[in-house]
Chain A
Amino acid sequence: MSSLNIPIYLDYSATTPVDERVAKSMAECLTLQGNFGNPASRSHPFGWKAEEAVEEARRNVAEIIGAVPKEIVWTSGATESDNLAIKGAAEFNQKKGKHIITMKTEHKAVLDTCRQLERDGFEVSYMDPMENGLLDLEAFKKEIREDTTVVSIMHVNNEIGVIQDIAAIGAITREKGILFHVDAAQSPGKVAIDVDEMNVDLMSLCAHKVYGPKGIGALYVRRKPRVRLEAQIHGGGHERGMRSGTLATHQIVGMGEAFRIAREEMATETAHMRKLRDRLWDGVKDMEEIYLNGDLEQRIPGNLNISFNFVEGESLIMSLKDIAVSSGSACTSSSLEPSYVLRAIGRNDELAHSSIRFTMGRFTTEEEVDFTIGKVREAVQKLRELSPLWDMFKDGVDLDSVEWAHH
């Protein structure tokens, strides 16, 4: 027990610690002795060396998704990439049409960007997922119109870890000549990505979910056939005019190194993740009235999202004070609404309020998982003893039939 790092971090889907190897490579790009030059300085070795490092990183990012370096545009993160991709493509193609299709379970960076486009006169269809979190392909086909220009579907969902069938969606959009954007922030190192096989035209990536630093990401922009975007940030014309701003060598090198490691270690890491996840699930699955949110199979190996009925999420997290997790409970979001992702897959408000997301990562150990199992069982039991809803359930009352005194 004494070797445990308290608190234990099980919120890898929120962010990851920077890998030591990555931090080292970044530190070499900062000071006077390091690679500090501006990569756009054409006239001296400081610039050339920085540019070389940037291009090596570009290769590493391209390789993990099956792209070529010229197709990678550096941004400040997946949020910016989402904005550039969706607004950029929608605006460029608006003479062809102004209809966009996305899903209700997308990240806010996509949803809010779509809302902005709606304010600018575009039309957006927000599709419902099926109960397992996946997009219904038949319903999707029916949603496509003559004036649809952009489709945006995330690869791996951050809350429930569900993996969308990107290749199947891409086959449909390619056939209809519609641009396909995929937010793949959570994917590298966990699921294989091949933009050609998947018929993806635009892909958002970021470093901080893959043991890289926060504040750097990339957008894959297909060249064959060429995808054109309206730039969202103007200035010196960097990144082929698509995203102006001096390139942050240390950030880029960090992302490149993180992605190189992710590519090389993916097989062993995913096997390790699966073992840990299964261990955690096996340790709690016999508990009464618990529900796994999202499909167990079509899911990244390190994610478990569980609703513990009759126990509220924030109080459960408070009880798990030595473990860092997150909840789909309203109290823990800054609005007072429960997780829109869990609501979209059909979970009622109570189960959305009672959910906990456990996401494991590179540095998670078996000991940490065992500790977590013990604490979860203990906490749920204690909170059920405090819960009037648990009493009513045990007494055989049908909670759906009760008339609650709302305030």
Chain B
Amino acid sequence: MAYSDKVLDHYENPRNVGVLDKDDPNVGTGMVGAPACGDVMRLQIQVSEDGVVEDAKFKTYGCGSAIASSSLVTEMVKGKTLEEVAAIKNSEIVEELALPPVKIHCSVLAEDAIAAAIADIKAKREEQSAQKESA
């Protein structure tokens, strides 16, 4: 099984590996996948007050394509608004990394991770504004 150069590059030099404080009100955390499936991705985004992604970090348990997919995602989301981030499609990841058919599910999982991170930050913000209102 030959990996594309892009996958190898992300694997050798993964971008934005690490952890953000998940209790920080401006951080959205998405964790998807399951150890039993051989793929777990944790994607975290730091979002400004006006909804722009300022920073992103990831950690992934999975094959080279899964690691590359999540590493690429952290690059793709920086500087985008949450709406733009939500519009990212897994096909973009497949194309950029030249993923073969058997690895497409890795890009789908990365898309799920984005959705989960966005859902988390949105839920936090709704709760914050609900608290402000009731205060």
A390 to B19, CA, bound (A): 13
A318 to B12, CA, bound (A): 10
Q: What's the minimum C-beta distance from A403 to chain B, rounded to whole angstroms?
A: 9
Which of chain A's residues have a CB closer than 8 A to the CB of B1? Answer: 332
Which of chain A's residues have a CB closer than 8 A to the CB of B87? Answer: none
- Give the contacts of B1-33 with A (CB-CB under 8 A): 1, 3, 11, 14, 17, 19, 31-33
**Chain B 106-117 against A: per-residue CB contact (8 Å), 1 yes, 0 no?**
001100100010
- Give the contacts of A379-407 with B (CB-CB under 8 A): 385-391, 399, 404-407
A331 to B38, CA, bound (A): 8
Q: Does the CB pair B40–A318 fall under 8 Å?
A: no
Q: Does the CB pair B19–A312 fall under 8 Å?
A: no
Question: Which label, helix, strand, loop or mixed, suits the secondary structure of the B interface?
Answer: mixed
Which one of B14, B59, B112 lies within 8 Å of A391 (CB-CB)?
Answer: B59
Which of chain B's residues have a CB closer than 8 A to the CB of A407? Answer: 32-33, 108-109, 112
Answer whether residue B64 sits at the interface, using C-beta atoms and an 8 A cutoff: yes
Which of chain B's residues have a CB closer than 8 A to the CB of A331? Answer: 38, 63
Q: What's the minimum C-beta distance from B50 to chain A, rounded to whole angstroms?
A: 28
Contacts A318-B11, A350-B36, A386-B17 given: A405-B31 contact, CB under 8 Å?
yes
Which of chain A's residues have a CB closer than 8 A to the CB of B63? Answer: 312, 314-315, 318, 329, 331
Answer whether residue A220 sits at the interface, using C-beta atoms and an 8 A cutoff: no
Q: Does the CB pair A311–B38 fall under 8 Å?
A: no
A310 to B40, CA, bound (A): 10
Q: What's the minimum C-beta distance from B74 to chain A, rounded to whole angstroms?
A: 12
Contact residue range for chain A?
20 to 34
Q: Does the CB pair B40–A389 fall under 8 Å?
A: yes
Contacts A310-B61, A350-B35 given: A388-B40 contact, CB under 8 Å?
yes
- Give the contacts of B43-91 with A (CB-CB under 8 A): 59-64, 66-67
Q: How many chain B residues touch A (Cβ–Cβ < 8 Å)? A: 31
Which of chain A's residues have a CB closer than 8 A to the CB of B97? Answer: none
Answer whether residue A330 sits at the interface, using C-beta atoms and an 8 A cutoff: yes
Which one of A313, A318, A336, A388 lies within 8 Å of B59 (CB-CB)?
Answer: A388
Which of chain A's residues have a CB closer than 8 A to the CB of B67? Answer: 315, 386
Q: Does the CB pair A330–B31 fall under 8 Å?
A: no
A406 to B39, CA, bound (A): 10
Q: Does the CB pair A388–B61 fall under 8 Å?
A: yes
Which of chain A's residues have a CB closer than 8 A to the CB of B66? Answer: 312, 315
Which of chain B's residues have a CB closer than 8 A to the CB of A190? Answer: none
Q: Does the CB pair B62–A315 fall under 8 Å?
A: yes
A46 to B64, CA, bound (A): 55
Q: Does the CB pair A349–B35 fall under 8 Å?
A: yes
Answer whether residue B34 sits at the interface, using C-beta atoms and an 8 A cutoff: yes
Q: Which of A's residues lie within 8 Å of B, judged by CB?
A: 310-315, 318-319, 329-332, 336, 338, 348-350, 353, 385-391, 399, 404-407
Q: Which of B's residues lie within 8 Å of A, judged by CB?
A: 1, 3, 11, 14, 17, 19, 31-42, 59-64, 66-67, 102, 108-109, 112, 116
Taking A386-B61, A406-B33 as known contacts, 17 extra A-B pairs with beta carbons closer than 8 A to each other, sorted by chain A number, are: A315-B62, A318-B3, A329-B38, A348-B36, A349-B35, A349-B36, A386-B17, A387-B61, A388-B31, A388-B40, A389-B40, A399-B35, A404-B33, A405-B33, A405-B34, A405-B112, A406-B37
